[in-house]
Chains A and B, each alone.
Chain A
Amino acid sequence: MATPQDLRYSKEHEWARVNGDGAVIGITDYAQRSLGDIVYVELPKVGEQIKQFGSIGVVESVKAVSDLFTPLSGEVVEVNGALDGDPAAVNRDPYGDGWMLKLKLSNPDETKSLLSAEEYDKLAAE
Chain B
Amino acid sequence: MNQMARRTALYDEHRKLGARIVEFGGFEMPVQYAGILKEHDAVRHRAGLFDLSHMGQFRLEGESVAQWADTLTINSVETMKPFQARYNIFCNELGGTHDDTIFYRLPEQRWLLVVNAANAEKMWVLLQNHPAGVRLKNQHGEGALIAIQGPQSVAMLQPHVDMDLASMRYYFCTEDEVEGIPALIARTGYTGEDGFEIFVDGAFASNIWEGLLRAHAREGLEPCGLGARDVLRLEAGMPLYGHELTEEITPVQAGQAWALKLSKPQFTGRDALAAQLERDDYARIVGIAMAGRAPAREGYPLFAGDRRVGEIRSGSFAPSVNGGRNIATALVERDVATVGTLLTVEIRGTRHEATVVAMPFYKRVKS
Binding site for B on A (CB under 8 A): 36-37, 39-40, 42, 58, 60-63, 65, 84, 87
Contact status A39-B35, CB under 8 Å: no
Q: What CA separation (Å) do A13 and B32 show in the bound complex?
A: 21
Contact status A84-B36, CB under 8 Å: no
Residues of B contacting A39 in the complex (Cβ-Cβ under 8 angstroms): 293, 295, 317, 326
Contact status A36-B32, CB under 8 Å: yes
Q: What CA separation (Å) do A44 and B51 show in the bound complex?
A: 41
Given contacts A36-B35, A36-B36, A36-B227, contact A62 B317 (CB under 8 A): yes
10 more A-B residue pairs beyond the given contacts A37-B38, A39-B317, A65-B295, with a C-beta to C-beta distance below 8 A: A37-B36, A39-B326, A40-B317, A58-B348, A60-B294, A60-B317, A62-B37, A63-B31, A63-B230, A65-B297
The chain A residue sitting closest to B228, CB to CB, is: A62
Q: What CA separation (Å) do A42 and B316 show in the bound complex?
A: 16
A-B contact pairs, 18 of them (CB 8 A): A36-B35, A36-B227, A37-B37, A39-B293, A39-B295, A39-B317, A40-B293, A40-B295, A42-B348, A58-B348, A60-B317, A62-B37, A62-B231, A62-B316, A63-B31, A63-B227, A84-B293, A87-B293
Residues of A contacting B295 in the complex (Cβ-Cβ under 8 angstroms): 39-40, 60, 65
Contact status A63-B348, CB under 8 Å: no
Residues of A contacting B32 in the complex (Cβ-Cβ under 8 angstroms): 36
Whole-angstrom distance between the Cβ of A120 and the nearest chain B Cβ: 21
Q: What CA separation (Å) do A40 and B37 show in the bound complex?
A: 14
Whole-angstrom distance between the Cβ of B329 and the nearest chain A Cβ: 15
Residues of B contacting A62 in the complex (Cβ-Cβ under 8 angstroms): 36-37, 227, 231, 316-317
Main secondary structure of the interface of B (DSSP, over half): mixed
Residues of B contacting A60 in the complex (Cβ-Cβ under 8 angstroms): 294-295, 317
The chain B residue sitting closest to A88, CB to CB, is: B37
Range, interface on chain B: 10 to 19
Q: What CA separation (Å) do A76 and B31 show in the bound complex?
A: 36
Whole-angstrom distance between the Cβ of A62 and the nearest chain B Cβ: 4
Q: What CA separation (Å) do A63 and B316 show in the bound complex?
A: 7
Q: What CA separation (Å) do A120 and B297 show in the bound complex?
A: 32
Whole-angstrom distance between the Cβ of B199 and the nearest chain A Cβ: 28
Residues of A contacting B227 in the complex (Cβ-Cβ under 8 angstroms): 36, 62-63
Q: What CA separation (Å) do A58 and B348 show in the bound complex?
A: 10
Q: What CA separation (Å) do A65 and B317 show in the bound complex?
A: 12
Residues of B contacting A42 in the complex (Cβ-Cβ under 8 angstroms): 294, 348
Whole-angstrom distance between the Cβ of A45 and the nearest chain B Cβ: 12
Q: What CA separation (Å) do A37 and B40 show in the bound complex?
A: 11
Q: What CA separation (Å) do A36 and B231 show in the bound complex?
A: 14
Q: What CA separation (Å) do A65 and B348 show in the bound complex?
A: 11
Whole-angstrom distance between the Cβ of B305 and the nearest chain A Cβ: 25
Residues of A contacting B316 in the complex (Cβ-Cβ under 8 angstroms): 62-63
Residues of A contacting B297 in the complex (Cβ-Cβ under 8 angstroms): 65
Given contacts A58-B348, A62-B231, A63-B230, contact A37 B293 (CB under 8 A): no
Q: What CA separation (Å) do A60 and B333 show in the bound complex?
A: 28
Interface bits B27-54 vs A (CB < 8 Å: 1, else 0): 0000110011110000000000000000
